[in-house]
Amino acid sequence: MSKDAFLSAMGIEVYRLRSQRGESQQSDADSELKESAEQPSITFDHANAEDSQVVAATPSIPALNSLAELSLGEVANIASTCRLCTLSKERTNVVFGSGSESADLMFIGEGPGAEEDKQGLPFVGKAGQLLTSMIAALGLNRDAVYICNIVKCRPPQNRDPLPIEAKACTPYLSRQIELIQPKVIVALGRVSAQLLLDSEMPLGGLRRQTYKFKDTDIDLVVTYHPAYLLRKPTEKAKSWEDLWKVRQILQR
Ligand code: URA
């Protein structure tokens, strides 16, 4: 697929130069979408001692220690009643993940938004529609990939997940990755990329190379969060470069 065809599949409108577009084209949903580029960074390991005690003091879910033996459905079932962090207090639904359990391609966002919280499914709002177009531009159907988030419950006001919240949710994500064993993970946005790579580097720097996820053979590609692309459509051409890398890995 040529770059033009790829860009067209992602919606040619959004690739027009800023000077060719009306500046008032931001969607209504944009006000709900945050740009995360300037937010302070966090990593899995940065939960402080006090935070760790909170996790330790939280009534534990009996099977959390033995997720290693559970299927995806069983893990989702446990997550559905999770109370390991305070995000559980305000959620409507746990958003565990969706898609193929044998997917070669896995997308990981940061956390559910309002629509996801309502439906219990990841990336079903405006940003999700763009993600669906990005997946289609790769020649794939949403059902053929696996989509989930770092945290499974919606952070209030769509704020970034706190280190303590990301840490509490890590066993679920780890087991998802272990069971699905994708060929490639795409980290969507700075929060996801920094947590998965245990890095504090800004997104612009992180997306310059392809990584291996922790000590596995799984390739990890970093790209912009679709919500950010909705706010900054001119950056979509860069996301094409990232998805091109993904396409090449999938074709190997
Ligand atoms: N943003 C995310 O990071 N995840 C979702 O599921 C939706 C929006």
Q: Is the CB of 110 under 6 A from ligand 1?
A: yes
Instruction: Please give the distance, rounded to the nearest whole angstrom, from the Cα atom of residue 158 to the centre of ligand 1.
Output: 9
Q: Is pLDDT above 50 for 106?
A: yes
**What does DSSP assign to residue 215?**
T
Instruction: Please give the distance, rounded to the nearest whole angstrom, from the Cα atom of residue 112 to the centre of ligand 1.
Output: 4
Q: Is the CB of 220 under 6 A from ligand 1?
A: no
CA 213 – CA 8 distance, rounded (Å):
31
Domain ranges for the chain: 51-250
- Tens of pLDDT, residues 124-162: 999 999 999 999 999 999 999 999 999 999 999 999 999
Confidence of residue 66 (pLDDT cuts 50, 70, 90): confident
Q: Is the CB of 219 under 6 A from ligand 1?
A: no
Pocket test for ligand 1, best of 129, 149, 159, 196 (most atoms within 8 A of CB): 149
Judging by DSSP bridges, how do beta strands 184-188 and 105-109 pair with one another? parallel
What distances in angstroms separate CA 24 from CA 18, 36, 149, 233, one per listed residue?
11, 21, 31, 13
Confidence of residue 164 (pLDDT cuts 50, 70, 90): very high
Q: Is the CB of 160 under 6 A from ligand 1?
A: no
What distances in angstroms separate CA 117 from CA 87, 158, 184, one per listed residue?
11, 11, 26
- Tens of pLDDT, residues 166-188: 999 999 999 999 999 999 999 99
Range with the poorest average pLDDT among 47-51, 60-64, 202-206, 216-220: 47-51
What distances in angstroms separate CA 142 from CA 5, 57, 106, 129, 136, one per listed residue?
19, 39, 10, 10, 8
What CATH superfamily is the domain 51-250? Answer: Uracil-DNA glycosylase-like domain (3.40.470.10)
